[in-house]
Amino acid sequence: MIFTLYIDENAIPVNVPDELVQGADEVFKKIDADMDRGWQMGRQWVDNPELEQRCQIAVEKMVTAYDTNNQKLAMMMAGYIMARAPLIRIARVPTNGEIQDIELLMTENPMPM
């Protein structure tokens, strides 16, 4: 499956194997547990991020992974999003750099589970 990350006008496809989305539940639970303790989202502290905020956090980590050429982290964060919000397949990162302004776009075809 492909998750597409847009940074400025650049489309960055992240290929996520089905096995990762379906088989990394323990890793995704650890990511959730980390976020359950709260997260700094830009200038705002969020005590317990909601699903949309968790996906925005994962996208921010994908951007960092892209900047540092860490394809494994980018794939893992895309897999996390696909596992937690199966309809989301596209993210647009704003030029202002604000995590709260990351746009999450849905597809009409959810991934099979």
pTM for the predicted model, two decimal places: 0.91
Quickly state the pLDDT bin for 113 (edges 50, 70, 90): very low
Domain ranges of the chain: 2-106
Q: What is the pLDDT of residues 33-42, one digit of tens each?
A: 999 999 999 8
CB atoms inside a 10 Å sphere around CB 4: 14
Task: Say what angle helices 71-84 and 51-67 make with each other, to 10 degrees.
Answer: 160
CB atoms inside a 10 Å sphere around CB 55: 21
Task: Say what angle helices 25-36 and 71-84 make with each other, to 10 degrees.
Answer: 80
Between 97 and 90, residue with greater pLDDT? 90
Query: Residue 57 contacts by C-beta under 8 Å, 6 or more apart in sequence?
Result: 35, 39, 41, 49, 99
Helix (H) or strand (E) holding 92: strand 88-93
